[in-house]
Amino acid sequence: MNDPRVKMAMLGSADEIEAEFYEAMRHGDLDRMMAVWSEDEDIACVHPGGPRVVGTVAVRAAFEAVFVNGPVHVEIAHVHRMDLAHCAIHHVTEKVQAMTEQGLKTAYVMVTNVYVRSAQGWRMVTHHASSGMAQDLPDITEPRTTLH
């Protein structure tokens, strides 16, 4: 929390807060992670295949459990943003890599991150990650088939 990069990011845009979220993941840094989140008791987080975790104490505990295994090798494969005046909804496809008994495995995870602008700047209020897929599915922006 004394890291000047963190303080700078904390005054920044939703994009900068999101960048800070993924930096915290890559460093397995719990304090840096929690600085990204709003202190609102209604924040909520869903890790892939897991239950919903609500509130700052439970969200912190959930990330602590993730970081027990060390840093997370995650990057943004692509993101679709809906940036509004008071909230920002970022639809992120994460590329996550992990070493397994079968070698290095890659998964693509569909994520919705929501940020809200507060007096303290933008903060994360929701992180919802679905289970990973082996392939990076591109977003569908028009129908693939026409039925009539």
- Determine the interface stretch with a copy of itself among 9-17, 23-31, 35-43, 99-107 (rule: CB under 8 A): 35-43
Contacts 24+ apart (CB under 8 A), 32-39: 32/1, 32/3, 32/6, 33/63, 33/67, 34/59, 34/60, 34/63, 35/1, 35/6, 35/10, 36/123, 36/124, 37/123, 37/124, 37/125, 38/116, 38/118, 38/123, 38/124, 38/125, 39/123
Using rule CB under 8 A, residue 31 touches a copy of itself = no
66 binds a copy of itself (CB under 8 A): no
- State the residue for tokens 């900068």: 16
Q: Is 39 near a copy of itself (CB under 8 A)?
A: no
CA distances from 69 to 28, 53, 66, 127 (A): 9, 19, 6, 20
Residue 130 engages a copy of itself in binding (rule: CB under 8 A)? yes
Applying CB under 8 A, which part among 2-10, 11-19, 45-53, 99-107 lies near a copy of itself? Answer: 45-53
User: According to the binding rule CB under 8 A, does residue 131 interact with a copy of itself?
Assistant: yes
Kindly state whether residue 80 participates in binding a copy of itself, applying the rule CB under 8 A: yes
**Smallest gap from residue 37 Cβ to a copy of itself (A):** 13
**For a copy of itself, the closer CB: 24 or 45:** 45
The residue within the footprint of a copy of itself, chosen from 22, 95, 116, 121 (CB under 8 A), is 116
Q: Does 64 bind a copy of itself (CB under 8 A)?
A: yes
